[in-house]
Amino acid sequence: MRSWKIASISGIDIELHWTTLLFIISLIILSPISAIVLTLLFIIISLHELSHSIVAKRRGIDVRRIVLLPIGGMAVMEESNLKPEDEFYMAFAGPAFNFIFAGIVLLFVQLLGLPIYSMHTWDLMMNGKINIEWLGFIVSNLFWLNWLLGAFNLFIPAIPMDGGRVLRAFLAMTMDYSKATRIAGYVSKFLIAFMLMFSIFTFNIILFLIAIFLWIGASAEVEQAMNTHLVSMINMKNLIKKRAPKISQKILVKKALETMLKKNTTQLFVGDNIHFVTVEDLVNANKNDYVMNYARIARPIEITRPDVMINSFMAQNAEILPVKINDEIVGFIYLDDLTRAMKLAKMLYA
Q: Whole-number minimum distance, CB 221 to Zn ion, in Å?
A: 13
Options 159-167, 182-190, 240-248, 278-286: segment touching Zn ion (CB under 5 A): 159-167
User: Could you tell me the smallest distance in angstroms from the CB atom of residue 113 to Zn ion?
Assistant: 33
Our CB check for Zn ion shows the closer of 87 and 281 to be 87
Specify the residue, 100 or 112, whose C-beta has the smaller distance to Zn ion.
100
- CA 324 from chain centre, in angstroms, equals 22
Among 12, 50, 72, 94, binds Zn ion (CB under 5 A): 94
Q: In angstroms, give the least distance from the CB of 27 to Zn ion.
A: 23
End-to-end CA distance of the chain: 32
Nearer to Zn ion, 148 or 350 (CB): 148
- Residues 15, 86, 87, 162: which binds Zn ion (CB under 5 A)? 162
Question: Based on CB atoms, which residue is closest to Zn ion, 184 or 270?
Answer: 184
Q: Are 300 and 280 in contact (CB under 8 A)?
A: no
Rounded to the nearest whole angstrom, what is the least distance from the CB of residue 73 to Zn ion in the complex?
8
Q: Which listed range, 55-63, 86-94, 200-208, 273-281, lies at the site for Zn ion (CB under 5 A)? A: 86-94
What are the C-alpha distances in Å from 133 to residues 107, 115, 320?
18, 8, 68
Taken in order 82, 83, 86, 88, the sign of the CA dihedral is positive
326: left (phi > 0), else alpha (psi -120 to 50), else beta? left
Residue 4 Cβ vs Zn ion, minimum distance, rounded to whole Å:
22
- On the CB side of 165, how many CA atoms lie within 13 Å of its CA? 23
Binding mask 104-143 for Zn ion (x = CB under 5 A): ----------------------------------------
Of 81-89, 158-166, 288-296, 326-334: span binding Zn ion (CB under 5 A): 158-166
**Integer Cα distance of 297 and 316 in angstroms:** 9
Q: Which is nearer to Zn ion, 162 or 281 (CB)?
A: 162
Write each residue from 277 to 306 as x if it is in contact with Zn ion (CB under 5 A), else as -, in one continuous string.
Answer: ------------------------------
Number of residues located near Zn ion, criterion CB under 5 A: 2
Q: Does 86 bind Zn ion (CB under 5 A)?
A: no
Looking at beta carbons only, is 94 or 306 nearer to Zn ion?
94
For Zn ion, the closer CB: 151 or 274: 151
Residue 94 Cβ vs Zn ion, minimum distance, rounded to whole Å:
3
Separation of CA 29 from chain center: 32
Least Cβ distance, residue 48 to Zn ion (angstroms) = 5
Binding site for Zn ion (CB under 5 A): 94, 162
